[in-house]
Amino acid sequence: MLSDSAVPEVPPRTVARLVVMAVLAGLAAWLLLGRWLEPSAAGMAGILVAVIFLWISEAMPLAIPPLVGTAFAASMGIVPAKEAFASMADRIVILFIGSFILAQALEKHGLSRRIAYAALALPAVGRSPLAIFWAVSAVNFLISAWVSNTATCAMMLPIVLGIVARIRSESGPDAAKGLGFSLAFTCAFSASIGGLLTPVGTPPNLIGIGQLERVTGTEVKFFDWFAAVSPPALGIWLLGCLWLSRNVEPAGSFPLDPAFAREKLRELGAMTSSEKWTLAALVATILGWLVPPAFVALELPGGKLLERVFAEPFVPLYFTFPLFFLGGGGRRQAALGADDFAAIDWNTIFLYGGGLCIGSLIEKSGLSKVISASFAGIPAESPALVLLAAVVLAVVMSEFASNTASANIIAPILAAASGAFDIPVGPFMLAATAACTLGFLLPVSTPLNAMVYASGEVPLRKMIRTGLVMDLIGIVLLTGWFLWKG
């Protein structure tokens, strides 16, 4: 959830050139489309082109272009300033903040690392190459549902590289090449797909949810997302891991010993008071998201009251709030402090809010009707082709732009176009949103891919071949599932 939207540093002169190019592209779109569109729609189209240009170039923090674009739209008179930035107060912005605080606590106190080592220390896991592979994949998959995909991969990759290095120290430098590739690749793959399990698993999820809620006017709650997206996510993960497991050497190819993981687990020592409070906050947050809807669904007494008190966006705030005054340490320090609050990924939070503002302006300026009408002219013989096209577009975009940028570009456009096709807007938007998290073809596709490629265990050609299979699995399962569900 945290650093998935991070961008590399770009020299100021390069940024300046890209900004000039974005402005010129926006002006060209404005002047060209002004001959056919209403002034507000043409102006918004120019702003959208400039924002998308800067998103794709990733020349600056991704939150800046939509905020500046929204301000410019307000100054043009497309909508009043108060209306233009109203989406910054969206409920999901609050959900982002609380979830990021929880993720910060998990990372700071090493709770996710302890879970990983505990799984690898199990005797049934540590003595079989295949069992190690599935354990690493499963831990990545589950942890990334709550922690940033990038942070999960960054945490797990040194662990698996340590396992492979230990094997090679005893069996020679050419040992465990298949296991090394599979373990490294699954750090990126399983962490990415695991982010689809929950709405807060990765920023594109909440971006797509926000645009869907804006279009339909109905809330997409935690359980709604889980019920809709977790089945195809689980299928993608299982099929992808089965494909990766083909590379793993059979048992007995080299000596294995779970003592390595147990040794690392001992180095972590006993759980600190802060770690225990963090675990309690995590469990309480999950229960706060699951129990009230269950009470309502089963028509149990107090269900409506629980659902109102534990409104989904506020749950992580309620249970992370005590971490700022409870915890432990030599001087009884709290589990979290002011520095931890400052360290959460505010760039993604403002990116999400700014993206929602842009989506709202597309609708209010009249540009959404133009986009919808233009999509209506595309020949499509069946909803399956339309859904497939949206999923493929999202995957292709995510190969060349960050997943978060891809979601910000695609979600408002598909939201505007959804009325042009004979397909329910919910499956249409959710499938494309989930597809933004795919993208395993190239080292530059995601920070996770870059990390595993840099490990030396994942050759480029093998990454491309394997990544193509993973993308195809995702495209087929997402399209098939949401077509059937719709």
The model's pLDDT over 402-440, given as tens digits with 9 standing for 90+, comes to 677 778 777 777 777 766 666 677 888 888 889 988 988
C-alpha count within 13 angstroms, C-beta hemisphere, residue 268: 20
Nearest to 275 by CA among 201, 326, 314, 318: 326
Domain assignment present for residue 77? The answer is no
pLDDT the model gives residue 402:
67
Query: Hey, what amino acid is at 64?
Result: I
- Is the pLDDT at 372 greater than 70? The verdict is no
Domain assignment present for residue 165? The answer is yes
Domain assignment present for residue 2? The answer is no
Over residues 118-133, mean pLDDT? 78
Nearest to 139 by CA among 125, 156, 124: 156
pLDDT the model gives residue 486:
66
Domain assignment present for residue 429? The answer is no
Q: What are the tokens at 316?
A: 């992580």
Over residues 239-249, mean pLDDT? 93
Domain assignment present for residue 360? The answer is no
Domain assignment present for residue 306? The answer is yes
Domain assignment present for residue 164? The answer is yes
Of 8 and 119, which is predicted with more confidence? 119
- Is the pLDDT at 19 greater than 60? The verdict is yes
Domain count, the chain: 1
Nearest to 60 by CA among 10, 4, 1: 10
Q: How confident is the model at residue 377 (pLDDT cuts 50, 70, 90)?
A: low
pLDDT the model gives residue 23:
92
- First-to-final CA distance of the chain: 28
- Say what the pTM is: 0.70
pLDDT the model gives residue 328:
66
Over residues 125-149, mean pLDDT? 85
- CA 84-86-90 angle, 5° bins: 140
The chain-wide mean pLDDT, for the chain, equals 82
Of 8 and 64, which is predicted with more confidence? 64
Domain assignment present for residue 181? The answer is yes
Quote the CA–CA distance of 407 and 403 in Å, as a whole number.
6
Helix (H, G, I), strand (E, B) or coil at 438: coil
